Amino acid sequence: MNAISQPPANIIPAEHNSGAVTVQGLTRRFSNGPPVLDRLDLTIAPGEFVALLGRSGSGKSTLLRTLSGLDPVTEGHVSRPRDVAVVFQESRLLPWKRVWQNIILGQTGGKAGRERAGEVLEEVGLGHRGDAWPLTLSGGESQRAALARALVREPAFLMLDEPFAALDALTRLRMQQLVAGLWTRHRCAVLLVTHDVDEALLLADRAVVLESGRIRTDLPIPLDRPRRHDDPRFGHLRSILLDALGVHDDD
């Protein structure tokens, strides 16, 4: 399932679905090891697009799982809107249901549900594949369907966990353009986990770099949209992020 409609008991709902996300002093430990999230503070404003970067094991997925309610909040506070949706690296479509049925799973069924599924599928460029079985979709189409399934819930907060990591470079670029357009229209708060610095710069208002469960860098991305790789400021911001990730341009 890719959507959690009610916050779990230990997550405080933000005021009337405002879209604001607040994390204060969030600490997460597994067994007796060092904290994976270490007194983490983070705020995402309503409608803001934040990219979350960090080396493997820095705690990105753990933070996302905690925000989505899949992991408990054991130390610290989390507040987020009631209506959230999550898209993962793999689409998680149910193979025994048609694409359109997957989109409205757990929602109103019947003719209205089918029409609504058709609308969002159209919006993600998959209007012609509603009757298809998920296993017949390409990787890019599957992720479009996963986005449609998230959007149909009109989330105030959308979490994307490396949603395009398994796609080829060209498909990934198309999906990034799709997400940029969807976000412009829907304006929900977004947290995008990515390893791709350019993806962060193409899409986000801010890039947050995690290191050992703490925020190492919180970089505003003040570039006009639509973003272009050849914007001279793009290279400068890329260097800052690569530095923060411990990867240097000349490595």
Ligand X SMILES: Nc1ncnc2c1ncn2[C@@H]1O[C@H](COP(=O)(O)OP(=O)(O)OP(=O)(O)O)[C@@H](O)[C@H]1O
Distance in angstroms (rounded) separating the CA atoms of residues 118 and 112: 10
Options 59, 69, 134, 163; binder of ligand X; rule CB under 6 A: 59
Options 2, 42, 48, 62; binder of ligand X; rule CB under 6 A: 62
Residue 213 DSSP one-character state: T
- What binding mask, one character per residue, do residues 94-133 give for ligand X by CB under 6 A, x or -? ----------------------------------------
Smallest separation (angstroms) from ligand X to the CB of 188: 22
Contact between 192 and ligand X (CB under 6 A)?
no
Other beta carbons less than 10 A from residue 53's beta carbon: 27
Distance in angstroms (rounded) separating the CA atoms of residues 23 and 251: 34
Contact between 163 and ligand X (CB under 6 A)?
no
- What binding mask, one character per residue, do residues 14-53 give for ligand X by CB under 6 A, x or -? ----------------x-----x-----------------
Cβ atoms of 216 and 60 within 8 Å: the answer is no
Q: For 25-168, where are the alpha helices, taking DSSP H only? A: 60-68, 99-103, 110-123, 139-151
Site for ligand X in 140-159 (CB under 6 A): none
Among candidate residues 98, 94, 152, 95, the one with its CA nearest the CA of residue 123: 152
Of the listed pieces 40-48, 55-63, 85-93, 98-106, which binds ligand X according to CB under 6 A? 55-63
Structure tokens at 51: 């990219």
Q: Which residues bind ligand X (CB under 6 A)?
A: 30, 36, 54, 56-62
